[in-house]
């Protein structure tokens, strides 16, 4: 989809489709009012008849509206004027884009960015319009037969060009900046979705490493891929313990986006990259096991975030660390009862081989120390318990630092990609006691997402650290099965805010 920004009049411009908003009270947005005036009350009449109630995300497509030059006018319900805020804005944008696609119009001009949204800048509105439009039209066709994918692409039902109209020409540069940011973020989200959606026989640890190398080439990032021998030398016994049951070789991928000041301490992002989680010898039940291909979504969100910030050329130092392998049952696989020695020297009794995410993350978190980070954030589809606690709306946030937690929560609010702060009190730590090693890798059924975070906290004492459990937010099940791209919006916003602070 191509984008552009213009200042124009809704009733005068020539387009396949003009998108304007209408409130529930039958109050018209400025653009809708202009069309109504030019058409002798055409819209008011329709509203009076009750064809559109103006409820949020309801739409009505009109054709050949008198007094206008466009083929179609799409009315989008905005809900009550007093309730119209960030979320409602994005919902209306999403509904409008879906309706345009369904109509077959290949080009549209949206007047939604002109709507007053409490305290929101034109930059925010254009950025989110762009991001939501690209998100709503995302399709995964990477592994369809080439012919079919091409046919789908060239078929009429896709928007080729979307113009965002703004009222004030003085706002043009802010709008352009918002457009660039929205596009960059959408590119990152799309990469994260693609990697999650790919089948696990394609998206292997080796494939993820290749994608990182490709990203590095494209954007001028330093990429390093550590192979099994190097991991052995580093003493990553915990990570290698998970990997040893798989025929796919493990990789530790390190990405460096060093566009901040030379002496600026980097932010480190660590992403869980289990490309398939069978549970290992503690085998998972069969139902929905295919969804465990999404167990690399932490890794995918690190790669997606790197794509977004590289595309923005964000002036900040950011390091990405991705431990990636499969968790398979095999003659050589780790057994329940095995004790592994982590890179930190701490020993771990593996009571359940299905609690493997923490086993690969702990060594990556120890590895992070060498970068003397200003903060470390790990992202992982870590526990089913987090889904039970928070469902699919919020990611679980755990941290050893209140300020860092607040920063991430705020970023999630701003990006509409929320997290919820969970407790990590010392009271939970004894659940990890082991009779045979420094700790066990599971802490019983109670508070499963918290004891998983407590496990990681033992390896993150040397820096400010936060952990995002994205088990409930990274993908959708059921009819709409697919990666969501979360929490790329949260992470990108967090880094953008850090860059703003650092470059003040």
The residues binding Zn ion (CB under 5 A) are 274, 277, 295, 357
Q: What is the rounded radius of gyration, in angstroms, for the C-alpha atoms of the chain? A: 25
Residues that bind ligand BES (CB under 6 A): 277, 295, 352, 354-357, 381-385, 387, 442, 448, 471
Specify the residue, 11 or 277, whose C-beta has the smaller distance to ligand BES: 277
| Closest C-alpha to 304, from 141, 460, 153, 138 | 138
| Interacting partner of 47 out of Mn ion, ligand BES, Zn ion, none (Cβ under 5 to 8 A depending on kind) | none
Specify the residue, 81 or 384, whose C-beta has the smaller distance to ligand BES: 384
407 token code pair: 């920063």
Let me know if 486 is a catalytic residue.
no
| Interacting partner of 384 out of Mn ion, ligand BES, Zn ion, none (Cβ under 5 to 8 A depending on kind) | ligand BES
Q: Tell me the residue number closest to Zn ion, measured at CB.
A: 277
Closest approach, Cβ 168 to Zn ion, in A, equals: 50
Question: Listing from the earlier edge strand, what are the strands of the sheet with 347-349?
Answer: 339-341, 347-349, 439-440
Closest approach, Cβ 267 to Mn ion, in A, equals: 27
> Does 181 contact Mn ion by CB under 5 A?
no
Specify the residue, 277 or 464, whose C-beta has the smaller distance to Zn ion: 277
**Alpha helices per DSSP H over 120-264:** 122-136, 146-154, 172-197, 205-219, 228-234, 237-243
Closest approach, Cβ 476 to Zn ion, in A, equals: 18
Q: Is 462 exposed, middle or buried (0-12, 13-18, 19+ CB in 10 A)?
A: middle
Q: How many residues bind Mn ion (CB under 5 A)?
A: 3
Neighbouring C-alpha atoms within 13 Å toward the C-beta of 356: 36
- Cβ pair 148, 57 in contact under 8 A: no
Q: Is 14 exposed, middle or buried (0-12, 13-18, 19+ CB in 10 A)?
A: exposed
Specify the residue, 97 or 274, whose C-beta has the smaller distance to Zn ion: 274
- Cβ pair 420, 468 in contact under 8 A: no
| Interacting partner of 352 out of Mn ion, Zn ion, ligand BES, none (Cβ under 5 to 8 A depending on kind) | ligand BES
Specify the residue, 166 or 242, whose C-beta has the smaller distance to ligand BES: 242
Closest approach, Cβ 356 to Mn ion, in A, equals: 5
| Interacting partner of 181 out of ligand BES, Zn ion, Mn ion, none (Cβ under 5 to 8 A depending on kind) | none
**61 — phi, psi (to 5°)?**
-95, 125
Tell me which of 272, 293, 358, 486 is the catalytic residue: 358
Tell me which of 265, 284, 462, 476 is the catalytic residue: 284
238-297: contacts with Mn ion (CB under 5 A): 277
CB atoms within 10 A of CB 255: 25
Q: Tell me the residue number closest to ligand BES, measured at CB.
A: 384
Helix (H, G, I), strand (E, B) or coil at 65: coil
- Cβ pair 377, 397 in contact under 8 A: no
Helix (H, G, I), strand (E, B) or coil at 339: strand
Closest approach, Cβ 161 to Mn ion, in A, equals: 45
Specify the residue, 16 or 275, whose C-beta has the smaller distance to ligand BES: 275
Closest approach, Cβ 492 to Mn ion, in A, equals: 27
Specify the residue, 249 or 384, whose C-beta has the smaller distance to ligand BES: 384
Distance of alpha carbon 94 from alpha carbon 120, whole angstroms: 18
339-378: contacts with Mn ion (CB under 5 A): 354, 356
Let me know if 284 is a catalytic residue.
yes
372 vs 4, 226, 268, 345, 458, CA distance in Å?
42, 20, 9, 19, 17
Which residues share a beta bridge with 222? 256
> Does 407 contact Mn ion by CB under 5 A?
no
Closest approach, Cβ 354 to Mn ion, in A, equals: 4
> Does 417 contact Mn ion by CB under 5 A?
no
**Which positions touch Mn ion (CB under 5 A)?**
277, 354, 356
Positions annotated as catalytic residues are: 284, 358
């Amino acid at each position: 989809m191509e984008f552009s920004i213009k200042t124009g009049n809704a009733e005068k411009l020539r387009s396949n489709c003009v998108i304007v908003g209408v409130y529930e009270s039958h109050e018209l947005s400025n653009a809708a009012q202009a069309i109504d005036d030019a058409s002798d009350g055409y819209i008011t009449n329709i509203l009076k008849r009750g064809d559109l109630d103006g409820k949020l995300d309801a739409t009505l497509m009109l054709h050949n509206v008198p007094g206008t030059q466009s083929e179609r006018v799409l009315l989008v319900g905005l809900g009550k004027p007093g309730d119209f805020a960030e979320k409602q804005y994005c919902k209306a944008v999403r509904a409008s884009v879906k309706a345009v696609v369904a109509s077959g119009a290949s080009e549209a001009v949206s007047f939604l960015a002109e709507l007053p949204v409490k305290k929101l800048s034109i930059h925010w509105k254009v950025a989110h319009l762009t991001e939501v439009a690209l998100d709503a039209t995302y399709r995964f066709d990477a592994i369809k037969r080439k012919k079919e994918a091409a046919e789908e692409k060239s078929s009429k039902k896709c928007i080729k060009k979307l113009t965002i109209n703004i009222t004030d020409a003085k706002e043009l540069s802010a709008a352009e900046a918002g457009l660039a940011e929205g596009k960059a973020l959408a590119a990152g989200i799309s990469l994260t979705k693609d990697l999650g959606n790919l089948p696990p026989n394609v998206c292997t640890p080796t494939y993820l490493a290749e994608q990182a190398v490709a990203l590095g080439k494209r954007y001028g990032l330093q990429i390093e891929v550590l192979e099994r021998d190097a991991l052995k030398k580093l003493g990553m016994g915990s990570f290698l313990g998970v990997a040893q049951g798989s025929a796919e070789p493990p990789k530790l991928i390190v990405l460096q986006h060093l566009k901040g000041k030379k002496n600026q301490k980097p932010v480190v992002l660590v992403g869980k990259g289990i490309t398939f989680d069978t549970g290992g010898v503690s085998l998972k039940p069969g139902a929905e096991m295919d969804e465990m291909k999404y167990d690399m979504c932490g890794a995918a969100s690190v790669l997606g975030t790197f794509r977004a910030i590289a595309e923005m050329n964000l002036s900040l130092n950011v390091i990405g660390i991705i431990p990636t392998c499969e968790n398979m049952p095999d003659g050589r696989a780790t057994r329940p009862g095995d004790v592994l020695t982590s890179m930190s020297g701490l020993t771990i009794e593996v009571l359940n081989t299905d609690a493997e995410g923490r086993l690969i993350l702990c060594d990556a978190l120890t590895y992070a120390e060498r970068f003397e980070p200003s903060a470390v954030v790990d992202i992982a589809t870590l526990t089913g318990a987090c889904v039970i606690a928070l469902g699919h709306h919020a990611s679980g946030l755990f941290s050893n630092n209140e300020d860092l937690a607040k920063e991430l929560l705020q970023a999630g609010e701003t990006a509409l990609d929320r997290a919820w702060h969970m407790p990590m009190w010392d009271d939970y730590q004894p659940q990890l006691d082991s009779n045979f090693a420094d700790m066990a890798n599971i802490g019983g059924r109670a508070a499963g997402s918290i004891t998983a975070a407590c496990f990681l906290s033992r390896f993150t004492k040397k820096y400010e650290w936060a952990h995002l459990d994205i088990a409930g937010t990274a993908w959708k099940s059921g009819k709409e099965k697919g990666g969501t791209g979360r929490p790329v919006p949260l992470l990108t916003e967090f880094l953008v805010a850090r860059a703003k602070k650092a470059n003040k």
